[in-house]
């Protein structure tokens, strides 16, 4: 986590804390240094709109999470995280290793992402019940997991 601090020239500085606490400080002409909820109230009172995220969605490593629900009918969500912006592909295969559907193939931003498979092939036709595999690939990582479609 981080806190923001004014550098004296009305610029915000991102500061990382040792204990992962979030602190926002700003020196105001009339109130001196304000922080936290007081800062938010001061900014709102003076007509300054801010949006602050408490948690940054950046991954430290590649991760492919189990799909959910599993087993599923009619759709399932596949989540993954990547540490840097880059090319990724997620492809579904049947038990014989034949490609059923490419769920995504392109550039994704760093962080946790998800795609949904609706149990259809590349032509948009529903596939039969059974076990399928999904493969996540990027430049530096590859992993395969299994999933079960029930009818």
pLDDT at 47: 61
Q: Quick one: 128 exposed, middle or buried, by C-beta within 10 A (0-12, 13-18, 19+)?
A: exposed
Say whether pLDDT at 12 is over 80. no
Q: Where are the domains of the chain?
A: 2-45, 63-149
HSE-up (13 A, CA, CB side) for residue 48 = 10
pLDDT at 46: 61
Is residue 59 within 8 A of residue 88, CB to CB? The reply is: no
Say whether pLDDT at 6 is over 70. no
Report the C-alpha gap between 11 and 7 in whole angstroms: 6
pLDDT at 38: 54
CATH code of the domain occupying 63-149: 2.60.40.4070
| Mean pLDDT, rounded, for 101-118 | 95
């Amino acid at each position: 986590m981080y806190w923001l601090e004014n550098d004296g020239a009305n610029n915000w500085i991102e500061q990382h804390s040792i204990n992962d606490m979030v602190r926002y400080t700003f020196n105001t002409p009339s109130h001196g240094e304000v922080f936290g909820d007081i800062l938010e109230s001061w900014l709102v009172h003076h007509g300054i709109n801010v949006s602050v995220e408490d948690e940054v969605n950046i991954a430290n490593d590649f991760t492919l999470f189990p799909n959910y629900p599993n087993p599923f009918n009619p759709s399932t969500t596949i989540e993954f995280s990547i540490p840097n912006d880059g090319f990724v592909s997620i492809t579904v295969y049947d038990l014989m290793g034949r490609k059923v559907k490419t769920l995504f193939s392109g550039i994704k931003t760093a962080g946790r992402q998800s795609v949904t498979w609706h149990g259809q092939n590349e032509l948009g036709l529903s596939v039969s019940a059974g076990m399928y595999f999904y493969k996540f690939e990027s430049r530096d990582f590859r992993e395969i997991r299994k999933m079960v479609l029930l009818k």
